[in-house]
């Protein structure tokens, strides 16, 4: 059965908008789990614009599902990951001015840096996923780096409606190739209750990472129900 990991960054974004101590990502995580989430994802950014170390610490103590930490491959973030021990780390590119992650990691350019981080994380008992484009060369490098999983960037698929079929084909082919190399395949970025449906037919995709659309939906229907609706779509869509 395909899995759903819910990204809670925007719960923290709302909290930081008023510099309050609520809404609390930990409380949100519990509701997500009740709604059927298989995991919780948070991105600890270098500027700490939303998720903080305290959130990570409390989530590690509290949630019953898998905790996935998105982070840049830096020494600071590596030390944090080794301190709080999430189940997974997903390495992502990061730049200070971006609103959200722009593009996947370029493993050709960052190979040596990423290798060192992966080796340290694996020594610490943490599983590693790499956020990359649907590109054969990037997938081969992910395998060479001994990552356990990749997360395919679905941003262009979600934004460029005119060429959506083209990007869907690329994602499908990339998923099949990664699976043939014994990499776990995940997908995420910009997915919502509508554009996820074609991706559910790609049997090699084992997990979706979705945040903003669920949190936005929760404004209207509540967080537990929003997660439940997405998980139900995933279950029904792969039948």
- CATH superfamily label, 3-237: Aldolase class I (3.20.20.70)
Mean pLDDT, residues 27-38 taken together: 98
Q: Which residue has the higher pLDDT, 99 or 105?
A: 105
Question: Do 237 and 1 contact (CB within 8 A), yes or no?
Answer: no
pLDDT over 60 at 25, yes or no: yes
- The two structure tokens encoding residue 190: 């910009």
Threshold 0.75, pTM exceeds: yes
Q: Domain ranges for the chain, please list them.
A: 3-237
Residue from 103, 187, 178 nearest 143 by CA: 178
Q: In this structure, what DSSP letter does residue 133 have?
A: -
Which residues make Cβ contacts (< 8 Å) with residue 180, sequence separation at least 6? none
C-alpha 54 chain-centroid distance = 20
Mean pLDDT, residues 33-53 taken together: 97
Residue 58 pLDDT class (50, 70, 90 cuts): very high
Q: In this structure, what DSSP letter does residue 109 have?
A: T
What is residue 232's predicted lDDT score, i.e. its pLDDT?
95
pLDDT over 70 at 101, yes or no: no
Burial of 167-187, coded b for 16+ CB within 10 Å and e otherwise, reads: bbebbbebbebbbeeebbbbb
10 is catalytic: no
pLDDT over 90 at 158, yes or no: yes
Tally helices (H) and strands (E) across the chain: 10, 8
Residue 102 pLDDT class (50, 70, 90 cuts): low
Catalytic residue among 43, 50, 133, 207: 43
70 is catalytic: yes
What is residue 121's predicted lDDT score, i.e. its pLDDT?
98
Question: Do 164 and 134 contact (CB within 8 A), yes or no?
Answer: no
Burial of 202 (0-12, 13-18, 19+ CB in 10 A): buried
Mean pLDDT, residues 167-172 taken together: 98
Rounded CA separation 56/44 (Å): 8
For the ranges 34-38, 53-57, 92-96, 191-195, the lowest mean pLDDT is seen at 92-96
Percent of the chain with pLDDT over 90: 95
pLDDT over 90 at 217, yes or no: yes
- The two structure tokens encoding residue 87: 């189940």
Catalytic residue among 33, 50, 70, 94: 70
What is residue 95's predicted lDDT score, i.e. its pLDDT?
74
Q: Which residues sit opposite 89 in a β-bridge?
A: 69, 128
Mean pLDDT over each residue of the chain, to the nearest integer: 96
Catalytic residue among 50, 151, 189, 204: 189
50 is catalytic: no
Burial of 62 (0-12, 13-18, 19+ CB in 10 A): middle
- The two structure tokens encoding residue 106: 């370029």
Residue 100 pLDDT class (50, 70, 90 cuts): low
């Amino acid at each position: 059965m395909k899995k759903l990991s819910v990204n809670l960054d925007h719960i923290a974004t709302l909290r930081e908008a008023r510099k309050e101590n609520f809404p609390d990502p930990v409380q949100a995580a519990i509701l997500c789990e009740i709604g059927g989430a298989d995991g919780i994802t948070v991105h600890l950014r270098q500027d700490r614009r939303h998720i903080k170390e305290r959130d990570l610490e409390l989530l590690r103590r509290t949630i019953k599902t898998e905790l996935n930490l998105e982070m840049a491959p830096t020494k600071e973030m590596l030390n944090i990951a080794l301190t709080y021990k999430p189940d997974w780390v997903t390495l992502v590119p990061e730049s200070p001015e971006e609103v959200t992650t722009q593009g996947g990691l370029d493993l050709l350019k960052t190979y040596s840096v990423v290798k060192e981080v992966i080796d340290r994380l694996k020594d610490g008992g943490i599983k590693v996923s790499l956020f990359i484009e649907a590109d054969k060369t990037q997938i081969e490098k992910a395998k060479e780096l001994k990552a356990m999983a990749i997360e395919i960037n679905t941003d262009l698929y979600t934004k460029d409606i005119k060429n959506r079929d083209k990007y869907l084909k690329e994602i499908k082919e990339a998923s099949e190739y990664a699976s043939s190399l014994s990499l776990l395949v995940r997908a995420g970025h910009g997915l919502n209750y509508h554009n996820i449906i074609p991706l559910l037919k790609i049997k090699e995709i084992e997990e979706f990472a979705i945040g903003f659309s669920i949190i936005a939906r929760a404004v209207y229907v509540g967080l537990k129900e929003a997660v439940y609706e997405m998980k139900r779509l995933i279950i029904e869509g792969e039948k």
